[in-house]
Amino acid sequence: MVQSSAPVSPALVTRSRVGKRLSIVAPCFNEQEVLDLFFDRMETELAKLGLDYEIVCVNDGSRDHTLAVLLRRHQRDPRIKIINLARNFGKETALSAGLDAAAGDMVVPIDVDLQDPPELIGQFVEAWEKGADVAYGVRIDRSADSFLKRLTAQGFYRAFNRLSEVDLPYNAGDFRLMDRRVVDVIRQLPERNRFMKGLFAWVGFRQEPVPYARPERAAGSSSWRYWKLWNFALDGITSFSGAPIRVWSYIGLIAGLLAVAFAASIIVRTLLWGRDVPGYPSLMVVILMSFGLQMLAIGSLGEYVARIYQEVKGRPLYVVMDRYGFDAPGGEA
Ligand code: UDP
Ligand code: MG
């Protein structure tokens, strides 16, 4: 339904940034050490762009002084706005909350740890002026990540692109610029399980890669552990592919055919040579194997059922406790 108007040549579309507004969306979870640095860098970079802007910070239930730092900066500059969530909802959801609140003609989600270099936003805006609806950052070198993280990330992209019909660009994160039209489509998507990278790719439109080297975290520490990343990967794959649940009918079929062939060979052998001592080990292997396969199959059913349950409950995605800077009198800063 919402496919891109692909035949339009990008060269035919040119836009101007004059009079346009840029929204930066920054999810923050326990980021007190890095926030001041982040705002200082953003202010210098955004001043160069010649655009009206707002920075929508989503405090995702931080347990440190993140909110206090945000409020101090908001007092100093009303263009810094705050959505204070009622608890930690996770980065994907915090990002959704920010996208819902952002009012700009262009929207840029960004990590506050300065791993997404703010200098790139200028290039994004240029790509947008040349007609791109989405300009997304692509990491050309992941040397800041550990070997294991790079390896697992690569495995994930490969599996995802094999299994699902949308292609995730390798090494692209959430850091990107999106035109208002794209943001509106993403906001309309009803699912609660928001694997943002997948949704960003799913919408289509004219998407333009912008390469960059990803630096290390400026301060503080990453809150992603391998278990969390594994669950994140599962969310991504199950919400964009039915393959893990469908594959079981084929595995079952193959196992069934093997069983029939095995039975036939037993009958033939018994008729030709009579009965010999029944093979206890081979029986055990067959039983354990089929038990394992059944458990896996049921487990993969469970993964989907759990997610269906989550969608069906229809709870709101997130709960906002306070908002600062959105409807202040004369607040159009
Ligand atoms: N973040 C969040 N909620 C969470 C975890 C992270 O809003 O539950 C934010 C965090 O403050 C940062 C961004 O998401 O702005 C990326 O987090 P992090 O740097 O920990 O992830 P990594 O760069 O290691 O993928
Ligand atoms: Mg980071």
Determine the pLDDT at residue 5. 43
CA distance 240 to 115: 27
pTM more than 0.85: no
208 lines ligand 1 (CB under 6 A): no
What contacts 51, CB < 8 A, 6 or more positions away? 17, 20, 21, 22, 125
34 lines ligand 1 (CB under 6 A): no
3-class SS at 137? strand
CA distance 300 to 309: 14
Please check whether residue 24 is in contact with residue 42, taking contact to mean a CB–CB distance below 8 angstroms: yes
- Calculate helix-pair angle for 91-101, 180-188, nearest 10 degrees: 120
The atom number, within ligand 1, closest to the CA of 89 reads 8
Determine the pLDDT at residue 4. 44
Please check whether residue 123 is in contact with residue 210, taking contact to mean a CB–CB distance below 8 angstroms: yes
CA distance 159 to 157: 6
How many Å lie between the centroid of ligand 2 and the Cα of residue 57?
A: 16
Determine the pLDDT at residue 228. 81
Shortest CA distance to 78 belongs to which of 105, 109, 52? Answer: 52
User: Which DSSP string do the residues of 246-294 spell out, in sequence order?
Assistant: HHHHHHHHHHHHHHHHHHHHHHHHHHHH------HHHHHHHHHHHHHHH
User: Helices marked H in 102-225 — which ranges?
Assistant: 120-129, 147-163, 180-188, 196-202
Each of the 333 residues of the chain gets a pLDDT tens digit; together they read: 344 444 445 556 688 888 899 999 999 999 998 999 999 999 999 999 889 999 999 999 999 999 999 999 999 999 999 999 999 998 989 999 999 999 999 999 999 988 889 989 999 999 999 889 999 998 887 776 778 878 888 888 888 888 888 888 888 888 999 999 999 999 988 777 778 888 888 888 888 898 887 777 767 777 777 788 888 888 888 887 878 887 887 888 888 788 888 888 888 888 888 776 667 677 877 887 788 788 888 888 888 888 888 788 778 889 999 999 887 544 443
Determine the pLDDT at residue 322. 92
Shortest CA distance to 250 belongs to which of 285, 300, 286? Answer: 300
Determine the pLDDT at residue 196. 83
Determine the pLDDT at residue 328. 54
224 lines ligand 1 (CB under 6 A): yes
Determine the pLDDT at residue 10. 52
113 lines ligand 1 (CB under 6 A): yes
Asked whether the CA dihedral 87, 93, 97, 103 is positive or negative, the reply is positive
Ranges of each domain in the chain: 22-241+316-324, 243-313
The atom number, within ligand 1, closest to the CA of 110 reads 15
CATH of domain 22-241+316-324: 3.90.550.10
User: Which DSSP string do the residues of 61-83 spell out, in sequence order?
Assistant: S-SSSHHHHHHHHHHH-TTEEEE
